[in-house]
C-alpha cells in the first residue's frame, strides 16, 4: 500500500477528507508546477532583455556601422532601410551549403540583395520542425518584431523566429525559442558566426529604429526552382513545399515579400502593405 502524504499543490478537499493523497501524482504535479513557474521566469527574463539593449549589442552596432555605411555608399539603399531575410537550408542537398540572404528596400519599394552569408550550422534535415525536441530547424514564413531581438543572448546576439506561427499551430507543431544567433552551434536554430550575426543584428536594429515594425523571415529547404521540386517530388514533405514555393515565387517575380496569412491550414499570400 502506498504511503499517503500531504502536498499543498496536489490535493483537493475531497482527497483530504478521505486521505487519498498519492505521492506519485503529487510528484508529477509538483514537477509541472515547477516547470511552468520556471518557464514564466524565463519568459519574463527574455522579455526584459529583449526590450533593452546591452553593452555587447551596442559595441557590435558601433563596430559594424562604419563598414555597412561604406558598403551602401553607392547603392540605392541606406542603413535604416527596411530589410527582409530569406534562409535556405541547402543548394545541392549536402546540408552543408545553406545560406542566409538579407535584402534591403530601395525607394521604388523593391528589395534588393545586400549580402548572402553561409549558415555556420543548423540541426536536423530537410523538412519542417514538427515537435519539441525533434532537433529540426523550422521552415516556413515568420516575422521578427523588436521584442524578439535578444541583445543578451547566450549565443552572442540573437532574434527569435516566432515558432510556432499560426500555420505551425494549426498543424499541431510544437517547439520554442527557435532562433537565428551567433556562436556557431545549434539545436534547432540557425547559427551564424559572431561577426555575421552582428552585421545582421545591426541592419535589423537600424531598420526598427527607422520605423520598420517587423522583419519578415522566410525559411526554405532549398531554392524552390522547378528543377529542385522535380528532384524532391517523392519526398514526404512535397505538398508542404509546394505551398512554400508560392511564397518563394512571389518574391522572385515581384522583388517584394508577400503578406502571409493562413487559409484552410495552408499559407495564403497577398500583396504586403
Q: Which residues are catalytic?
A: 181, 189
Region label for 189, one of left (φ > 0), alpha (ψ between -120 and 50) or beta (otherwise): beta
For residue 121, the cross-strand partners are: 191
Q: How many residues does the chain have?
A: 273
SS (H, E, C) 49-64: HHHCCCHHHHHHHHHH
Residue 47: which H helix or E strand, with range? helix 23-51
Q: Which of 125, 147, 145 is nearest to 136 (CA)?
A: 125
| Cell digits of residue 252 | 522572385
Amino acid at each position: 500500500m502506498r504511503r499517503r502524504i500531504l502536498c499543498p499543490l496536489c490535493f483537493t478537499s475531497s482527497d483530504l477528507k478521505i486521505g487519498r493523497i498519492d505521492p506519485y501524482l503529487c510528484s508529477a504535479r509538483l514537477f509541472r508546477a515547477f516547470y511552468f513557474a520556471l518557464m514564466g521566469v524565463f519568459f519574463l527574463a527574455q522579455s526584459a532583455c529583449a526590450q533593452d539593449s546591452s553593452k555587447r549589442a551596442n559595441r557590435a552596432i558601433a563596430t559594424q556601422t562604419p563598414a555597412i555605411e561604406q558598403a551602401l555608399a553607392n547603392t540605392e539603399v541606406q542603413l535604416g532601410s527596411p530589410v527582409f531575410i530569406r534562409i535556405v537550408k541547402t543548394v545541392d542537398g549536402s546540408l552543408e551549403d545553406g545560406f542566409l540572404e538579407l535584402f534591403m528596400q530601395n525607394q521604388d519599394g523593391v528589395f534588393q540583395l545586400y549580402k548572402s552569408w553561409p549558415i555556420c550550422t543548423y540541426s536536423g534535415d530537410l523538412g519542417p520542425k514538427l515537435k519539441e525536441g525533434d532537433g529540426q530547424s523550422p521552415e516556413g514564413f515568420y516575422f521578427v518584431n523588436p521584442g524578439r531581438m535578444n541583445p543578451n543572448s547566450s549565443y552572442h546576439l540573437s532574434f527569435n523566429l516566432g515558432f510556432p506561427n499560426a500555420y505551425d499551430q494549426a498543424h499541431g507543431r510544437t517547439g520554442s525559442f527557435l532562433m537565428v544567433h551567433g556562436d556557431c552551434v545549434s539545436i534547432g536554430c540557425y547559427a551564424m558566426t559572431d561577426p555575421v550575426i552582428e552585421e545582421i543584428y545591426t541592419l535589423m536594429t537600424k531598420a526598427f529604429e527607422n520605423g520598420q515594425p517587423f522583419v519578415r523571415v522566410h525559411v526554405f529547404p532549398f531554392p524552390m526552382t522547378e528543377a529542385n521540386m522535380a528532384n524532391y517530388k517523392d519526398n514526404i514533405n512535397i505538398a508542404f513545399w509546394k505551398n512554400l514555393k508560392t511564397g518563394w515565387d512571389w518574391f522572385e517575380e515581384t522583388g517584394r515579400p508577400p503578406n502571409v496569412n493562413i487559409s484552410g491550414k495552408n499559407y495564403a499570400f497577398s500583396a504586403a502593405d
